[in-house]
Copies of this chain bind each other. A is one copy, B any other.
Amino acid sequence: MSFGADYNPEQWPREVWDDDIRLMKQANVDVVSIGIFSWARLQPAQDRWDFDWLDELMDLLAQAGIGADLATATASPPAWLVTQHPEVLPVTENGTVLSPGGRQHWRPTSPVFREHALTLVRTLAERYRDHPALVAWHVNNELGCHNLYDYSEDAAAAFRVWLQRRYGTVDRLNRAWSTDFWSQRYQEFDQILPPRTAASFPNPAQQLDFHRFSSDALKEHFIAERDVLRGFTPEVPVTTNFMVMGEVKGMNFADWAEELDFVANDHYRQPVADSREELSFSAATTSSLAQGRPWFLMEHSTSAVNWQPINPPKRPGELQRDSLAHVAHGADAVCYFQWRQSAGGAEKYHSAMVPHAGEDSRLYRSVVELGETLRRLDPVAGSHRRPAQVAVLMDWESWWASELDSHPTEDLRYRPELFAWWLSLLDAGIRADVVQSHQDFSGYDMVVAPVLHMVPAALQKRLEHYVESGGHLVTTFFSGIVDEDDRVWLGGYPGALRALLGIRVEEFAPLTRGEMVVLDDGSTGRLWSEPIDCAADVEILRRYRGGDLDGRAAITRRAHGKGSATYVSTQLDASGRSAILPELVRDTGVIAEVPASLRGRVEVTRRTGETGDFLFVINRTDDVLDISEFPGEPVIGVEQGSKLLDPRAVAVLRES
């Protein structure tokens, strides 16, 4: 297990560095990410370089046995670059040029920025290719955090090239974009612009392709840096830090992941309901991007962050709990932003491993304690996710497409729908993997695919084949509606899934805010409802009660081939999901892995590797829990014998 942080010694006098190394060793830190925001230091002017300080730092690290995850330092361009070349600055959809003063003020598609960035990467790679401290390359930083959507002329030109590559002819683009609507037909690619602020709703397919293009543009930047690095150090792994968390959707990480030598992620807990479980869901998603292999937790926080409206500290115990929850889902490295809390700048109130208060602090002592815990988890390192029986299917393009404007309701959010089902499975004691729609899901007994909005023909076939072969598919409202061009599958909803589900819906009936529907088991639905017409072979699991839909089907299931296809037509409340789940699971072979008495109170995950099988038990409550029902020999978290799990703690058991 690796342990470490972003380390920004540039911000501190030289004498502090020695103190840092001393404390890092005390805390068992063995890896630090350096140089992330060092461009201005490394290259103070276009023709001036200063590597002395970094040479010294790398040597210090090597001496101390601490690995360097060396950043390419391209995350934020220096003042001289934007002064000489203001044309690298991003432009918002309404034409505002984003100024320097913060960070990441560069256009992903700027040839000028690209050239300067790659020169820097080349220079760094050449210099440190053989340095003993170098353990990995860290490309840029949180690509797309602030500069994803750029509407500049550079972006316009690159967008056109991207479209030409995708469609070949403008005629194919016209078809895909439905440009006969509103007189939008193009004659040449050169007439096309990014979806800048318009007088009315911009073309949705244009918006969708701009999502795709923007994600690709940053991916290409990553690849460009990576390829330079690989040229120098083919054996040193290259990564960049994803931001799988909350509503971050702009970068299609499912698509990016295979370009990385190993997946790394940044995760920060947000002040939302079920924030702890959101962490697990994000970690499970990261695990899916890593295809179940171990990954790197590149950033999280020891305590408060600085960028929320209100930034409370973590409560006692949560520092360790959050870190281990990531490990439970496959992290082999636990790193923080950042090592030493800044005295100045925009992130000075962001917590760190060494706080403003210094080493004589509860926070630093907890960090040291975690370092010890991680050392005891070394046997876990390298182990893979042990596949679950249930997959929650995630489809990045459905995420984009289902949240476009001028839809039946603007209140639909894609990821919370997935999270809700994942949470209900967790509450039922059923372990579920997150699986990306392009990944193979045929091995899962059950696939839950909420709001699978965009279903191209190929996915339609894969889903049909899955069910025919014995899989159990559960999907919901607003699924199967459009193809890859955001064009509606005609003939009735849910379009591409209509035959498989055996149902037909003529009109959506979205619910206004505060409005709800009642089902015949007493549970309620919000956001959406629908009048469903069912084929003869469809079983009605729930009906609407009262209102205009009284007596009509609300949840349906159709046995098909060796499997089944279930449809949920409203946004069920938690009790509704919990009530229906046992019925959906029955006869699928899916079993709960949590004893009934602990369901809803612990989360379990499993990793498996050469050193054994590991069971992680995460306490979701503020109570001491008796987890002796779980077999296995404790590695950390509980005393052997007692198996009493502290509130907000994580136990690791080695399964026999």
**A interface, CB within 8 angstroms of B:** 8, 10-11, 37-41, 44-45, 73, 75-80, 83, 90, 94-105, 145-147, 177-187, 190-193, 195-206, 271, 303-304, 306-307, 309-313, 315-316, 342-349, 351, 355-358, 361-363, 405-411, 485-488, 490-493, 504-513, 548
Of the A-B pairs whose beta carbons lie under 8 Å apart in the complex, a sample of 18, sorted by A's number, is: A8-B181, A40-B180, A41-B185, A78-B183, A79-B191, A101-B206, A102-B201, A146-B199, A181-B342, A181-B344, A181-B346, A182-B346, A201-B346, A202-B346, A271-B512, A310-B513, A363-B506, A363-B507
Query: A307's contact among B181, B201, B512, by CB below 8 Å, is which?
Result: B201
Least CB distance from A281 to B in Å reads: 22
Q: CB-CB < 8 A to A357: which residues of B? A: 491-493, 504-507
Q: CB-CB < 8 A to A193: which residues of B? A: 99-101
Most buried by B among A79, A199, A307, A342: A199
Residue of B nearest to A174 (CB): B40
Q: CB-CB < 8 A to A77: which residues of B? A: 183
Least CB distance from A410 to B in Å reads: 5
Q: CB-CB < 8 A to A80: which residues of B? A: 187, 191
A44 touches B346 (CB 8 A): no
A356 touches B102 (CB 8 A): no
Task: Give the distance in Å from the alpha carbon of A271 to the alpha carbon of B507 in the complex.
Answer: 18
Least CB distance from A615 to B in Å reads: 30
Least CB distance from A48 to B in Å reads: 9
Q: CB-CB < 8 A to A358: which residues of B? A: 490-492
A304 touches B349 (CB 8 A): no
Q: How many copies does the complex hold?
A: 3
Residue of B nearest to A348 (CB): B488
Given that A37-B182, A185-B78, A507-B303 are known contacts, is A487 also in contact with B102, CB under 8 Å in the complex? Answer: no
Q: CB-CB < 8 A to A98: which residues of B? A: 197-199
Query: A485's contact among B177, B344, B405, by CB below 8 Å, is which?
Result: B344
Residue of B nearest to A48 (CB): B187
Task: Give the distance in Å from the alpha carbon of A358 to the alpha carbon of B507 in the complex.
Answer: 11
A311 touches B408 (CB 8 A): yes
| List of 7 A-B pairs having minimum Cβ-Cβ separation, nearest first | A178-B344, A181-B345, A102-B200, A146-B199, A102-B198, A99-B196, A101-B202
Task: Give the distance in Å from the alpha carbon of A504 to the alpha carbon of B487 in the complex.
Answer: 62
Q: CB-CB < 8 A to A96: which residues of B? A: 94-95, 197
Given that A178-B345, A199-B147, A356-B490 are known contacts, is A309 also in contact with B410, CB under 8 Å in the complex? Answer: yes
Task: Give the distance in Å from the alpha carbon of A485 to the alpha carbon of B192 in the complex.
Answer: 45
Q: Contacts A102-B201, A145-B200, A146-B199 given; 7 further ones with Cβ under 8 A?
A: A40-B185, A79-B184, A178-B344, A304-B508, A309-B409, A358-B490, A363-B507
Task: Give the distance in Å from the alpha carbon of A38 to the alpha carbon of B184 in the complex.
Answer: 9
Task: Give the distance in Å from the alpha carbon of A498 to the alpha carbon of B205 in the complex.
Answer: 59
B508 touches A184 (CB 8 A): no
Q: CB-CB < 8 A to A343: which residues of B? A: 178, 487-488, 490
Task: Give the distance in Å from the alpha carbon of A203 to the alpha carbon of B40 in the complex.
Answer: 15
A315 touches B38 (CB 8 A): no
A183 touches B38 (CB 8 A): yes
A102 touches B203 (CB 8 A): yes
Query: A312's contact among B303, B342, B512, by CB below 8 Å, is which?
Result: B512
A512 touches B342 (CB 8 A): no
Q: CB-CB < 8 A to A200: which residues of B? A: 102-104, 145-146, 346
Given that A198-B98, A309-B411, A507-B304 are known contacts, is A182 also in contact with B76, CB under 8 Å in the complex? Answer: yes
Residue of B nearest to A77 (CB): B183
Task: Give the distance in Å from the alpha carbon of A180 to the alpha carbon of B486 in the complex.
Answer: 46
B37 touches A183 (CB 8 A): yes
Q: CB-CB < 8 A to A509: which residues of B? A: 312-313
B105 touches A40 (CB 8 A): no
Residue of B nearest to A308 (CB): B410
Least CB distance from A157 to B in Å reads: 14
Q: CB-CB < 8 A to A342: which residues of B? A: 178, 181
Query: A198's contact among B11, B105, B488, by CB below 8 Å, is which?
Result: B105
Q: CB-CB < 8 A to A184: which residues of B? A: 40, 76, 79, 100-101
Task: Give the distance in Å from the alpha carbon of A77 to the alpha carbon of B185 in the complex.
Answer: 10
A487 touches B344 (CB 8 A): yes
Q: CB-CB < 8 A to A361: which residues of B? A: 492, 506
Task: Give the distance in Å from the alpha carbon of A349 to the alpha carbon of B509 in the complex.
Answer: 12
Least CB distance from A584 to B in Å reads: 27
Q: CB-CB < 8 A to A199: which residues of B? A: 90, 98, 102-105, 146-147
Residue of B nearest to A151 (CB): B99
Most buried by B among A193, A343, A411: A343
B510 touches A311 (CB 8 A): yes
Given that A83-B191, A193-B100 are known contacts, is A406 also in contact with B346, CB under 8 Å in the complex? Answer: yes
Q: CB-CB < 8 A to A492: which residues of B? A: 356-358, 361
Task: Give the distance in Å from the alpha carbon of A347 to the alpha carbon of B178 in the complex.
Answer: 11
Task: Give the distance in Å from the alpha carbon of A180 to the alpha carbon of B548 in the complex.
Answer: 62
Least CB distance from A533 to B in Å reads: 10
A313 touches B508 (CB 8 A): yes
B185 touches A79 (CB 8 A): yes
Task: Give the distance in Å from the alpha carbon of A40 to the alpha carbon of B186 in the complex.
Answer: 8
Task: Give the distance in Å from the alpha carbon of A206 to the alpha carbon of B100 in the complex.
Answer: 11
B102 touches A306 (CB 8 A): no
Least CB distance from A168 to B in Å reads: 19
A183 touches B103 (CB 8 A): yes
Least CB distance from A109 to B in Å reads: 15
A183 touches B485 (CB 8 A): no
